[in-house]
Structure 1
Amino acid sequence: MLLKNANIYDVRAGAFRLGHLFIENGRIADIGFDGSPQSDAVDMQTSYVLPGFIDCHVHLCVDTYNPDASRLWAGAKPGTIALSAARAAYR
């Protein structure tokens, strides 16, 4: 999937720049700031993209499929919780 005309935050420049992103297998495969992308790309004209940023407010140890997830960790060893959180972060 190609996203064109996005306001992309360029960490090297410390500012937003108009550019294009190519997404492949759910990941950013390429970012470009030059040239004109294909016309069949998704136009992101008023959207902002922050590549590499993550949601800093996330509950990695909470199972979203279980409404009573807090009880799952009662009595669990800290290492077990940490491994579960790492697995959730990878997803």
Structure 2
Amino acid sequence: MSQISSLKFWMANLAKLEFAALDLSGDNYLSWVLDAKIHLRANGFGQTIVDENDASPEENAKAMIFLRHHIHEALKSEYMVVDEPLDLWKALGER
């Protein structure tokens, strides 16, 4: 298997390993926050959820897409106007 096809295989499998969305009740918050933080760091977006970061608008947008993809539908509606990953991260932690 060539390096390119090996990388494609690895990336396809990585996508299958995504974690459960943050539940509306928040019961899975601890495991969710750890998984989300690890995934953000692994994808180069860990700085987007840190105070006084210098993340680019593109990095913030990608982090928001990722975070919103991994929260319950009702939470997406509740935090619809939040457009910065750090603000969403803090708001979910305060629930």
- Short-chain TM bin: under 0.3
Larger Rg: 1
TM-score, normalised via structure 2 length: 0.24
Instruction: Identify the structure with the greater helix proportion.
Output: 2
Q: TM-score, normalised by structure 1?
A: 0.25
Greater share of strand residues, 1 or 2?
1
